[in-house]
Chain A
């Protein structure tokens, strides 16, 4: 029976970057991914950087994949992992195809989309914004003739642009009306505050101004109070923080949405209902770390709003308190794919260092750790202003967990 040095779960930017480091150090590696193509969510990405250069996810993933393949990395696609079993000195990775035995595991499963349920969201023609992205940029399928985006955030703004570039007509982007699930996404103040992180992507002086002063609450309120009735246009498409979608209508599929005006507190203005004909609706509820596998193998968690939800506790070299289990990429917090790739490098080097214990690798590892921080600081898309604080919290939690573990061992 073969025992691998490491099984990497997820062939996105983090998983592939890690695999490359492991293979450069000659470890026995297998990379598993449930999607039929390597690259993860990198595949869907296409946007222009502030310096004018284009970030083309398909090209980026191709570069990673080619490097991994040149190192004869075993990448198995279309394989879902449904359990990680912890034995005394190894882990068993359960997949539909077979069991993989391994000394180390890197969980690089990325993120999933939070749903934003509003009445009518189960009608055919309603999809998550990420699904629209994958259909458009990966499968090259046109999602509809004319649509609307419900949920205004970094991700939906970036993907709206991609849909536009693909020639798909969008009516606008608007908030969902407030309900128990979508309270944050429906609060104009909070959304305005978060939009500040994509100010440089919005060629509108108004958003840039509003976001520049976003930390001053009164300016935010003013900006919302004088929010243009016709929305702020980004690439010609209105973004509404003063209008919200109340429900999605249709008998067998999406036929229209009901739009209402909302106050700066997100309250619905009476008698402001308008029906807008559309044949598809993208719901953007934001991302959360996909950490089920870390949970089943016994990793402790910490909640960090800044990082997007419950995060498996880990240190700066991506180790969790469960010896042999590593994490990298969006499972450690919602950030750009560039950060994920650097984290993958760190995890790969950390595993190589654990297996081979060389000074040379240790030096590379330290440099890679510094690179993660540098990449984070330079990121053009920041999902949350408190990312660095969130990271600190996680790192402190790791030290505390390890301290408790040691004390427990001493008691025994």
Chain B
């Protein structure tokens, strides 16, 4: 199971996450930033619940009402041109 990929975009395995947690004694958010798990092309749309669960389990942080890992726009993959928004307001 250690070799099982959890975040497919960034190819992060369960073992990678556990190792980072052990090495740096990090919080859920720190593990995410260090590993880039859930931060790939799909924006965590595939693995977010799995990562939430693993990180809660590793760090023993209790699930709270706030979303475990921050959501930031854009919530869908888009090109930089589209992100710039040029010409998208019809004045």
How many angstroms from the CA of A34 to the CA of B89 in the assembled complex? 20
Q: Does B80 contact A (CB under 8 A)?
A: no
Give Cα distance in the complex from A212 to B5, angstroms.
39
Chain B residues within an 8 Å CB radius of A80: 76, 78
**Is A383 an interface residue, CB under 8 A from the partner?**
no
Pair B75/A296 contact, Cβ less than 8 Å: yes
**Segment from A117-125, A215-223, A271-279, A403-411 that makes contact with B:** A117-125
B65 with A98: CB separation less than 8 A? no
Min CB–CB distance B21 → chain A (angstroms): 12
How far is it, in angstroms, between the C-alpha of A397 and the C-alpha of B64 when the chains are bound?
14
Q: Which partner residue on chain A sits nearest B44 by CB separation?
A: A292
B50 touches A181 (CB 8 A): yes
Nearest Cβ on chain B to A355's Cβ, whole angstroms = 22
> Which chain A residue has the least Cβ–Cβ distance from B14?
A180
Asked whether, in the complex, the Cβ of B91 is within 8 Å of the Cβ of A1, the reply is yes
A44 to B6 alpha-carbon distance, docked (Å): 27
Knowing that A81-B75, A118-B1, A310-B67 are A-B contacts, what are 8 other residue pairs whose CB atoms are under 8 Å apart, sorted by A's residue number? A80-B76, A80-B78, A96-B78, A117-B14, A180-B1, A181-B50, A295-B71, A296-B72
Interface segment, one of A35-43, A147-155, A301-309, A369-377 = A301-309
A117 to B47, CA, bound (A): 9
With A99-B85, A114-B50, A180-B57 known to touch, is A119 a contact of B76 (CB < 8 Å)? no
How many chain B residues touch A (CB < 8 A): the figure is 33
Q: Determine if A293 is an interface residue (Cβ-Cβ < 8 Å).
A: yes
Q: Quick one: closest A residue to B5, CB to CB? A: A122
Which residues of B lie under 8 Å from residue A326 when comparing CB positions? none
Interface pair A117/B6, CB less than 8 Å apart: yes
**Cβ contacts A to B, 10 pairs, < 8 Å:** A34-B76, A94-B73, A97-B88, A99-B85, A117-B5, A118-B4, A120-B4, A181-B54, A292-B71, A296-B72
Nearest neighbor of A101 in chain B, beta-carbon distance = B89
7 shortest A-B CB distances, which residue pairs?
A: A83-B73, A82-B74, A295-B71, A292-B75, A114-B49, A82-B76, A98-B88
Which residues 191-214 of A have a CB within 8 angstroms of B? none
Q: Which residues of A contact B46 (CB under 8 A)?
A: 115
Asked if A115 and B89 make an inter-chain contact with CB atoms under 8 angstroms apart, the answer reads: no
A117 touches B4 (CB 8 A): yes
**Residues of A with C-beta under 8 A to B64:** 303
Give Cα distance in the complex from A181 to B6, angstroms.
10
Partner pick for B73 among A96, A117, A296, CB 8 A cutoff: A296
CB distance from B84 to the nearest CB of A (A): 11
Which of A81, A94, A115, A180 is in CB contact (< 8 Å) with B85? A94
Q: Which positions 1-31 of chain A face chain B at CB distance < 8 Å? A: 1-2
Q: How far is the CA of A119 from the CA of B3 in the complex (A)?
A: 8
Mark A residues whose CB is within 8 Å of B. Answer: 1-2, 34, 80-83, 94-99, 112, 114-122, 179-181, 285, 288, 292-293, 295-296, 300-303, 309-310, 397
Q: Known interface pairs A2-B90, A180-B14. Does A122 touch B8 (Cβ–Cβ under 8 Å)?
A: yes
With A1-B90, A114-B49 already in contact, the answer to whether A119 and B1 are too (CB < 8 A) is: yes
Return chain A residues, CB-CB under 8 Å to B6: 117, 181
**B71 lies within 8 A of A119 (CB):** no
B89 touches A82 (CB 8 A): no
Q: Is the CB of A81 within 8 A of B76?
A: yes
Residues of B within 8 A of A112 (CB): 45
Say whether A309 contacts B49, CB under 8 Å.
Answer: yes
Which chain B residues border A119 with CB–CB below 8 Å?
A: 1, 3-4
Instruction: Check B4 against A293 for contact (C-beta < 8 Å).
Output: no
Task: Say whether A99 contacts B75, CB under 8 Å.
Answer: no
Supposing A122-B8, A180-B57 touch, asked if A115 and B78 sit within 8 A by C-beta, the answer is no
A96 to B73, CA, bound (A): 13
Residue on A nearest B6 in the bound complex, by CB: A117
Min CB–CB distance A181 → chain B (angstroms)? 5
The listed residue with most B CB atoms (<10 A of its CB), out of A81, A112, A115, is: A115
Q: Which residues of B contact A115 (CB under 8 A)?
A: 46-47, 49-50
Contacts of B63 in A (CB 8 A): 303
Instruction: Tell which of B4, B14, B67, B85 touches A295, judged by Cβ atoms closer than 8 Å.
Output: B67
Collect the chain B residues with CB atoms within 8 Å of residue A179's CB.
Answer: 1, 4, 14
| Shortest CB distance B13–A (Å) | 10
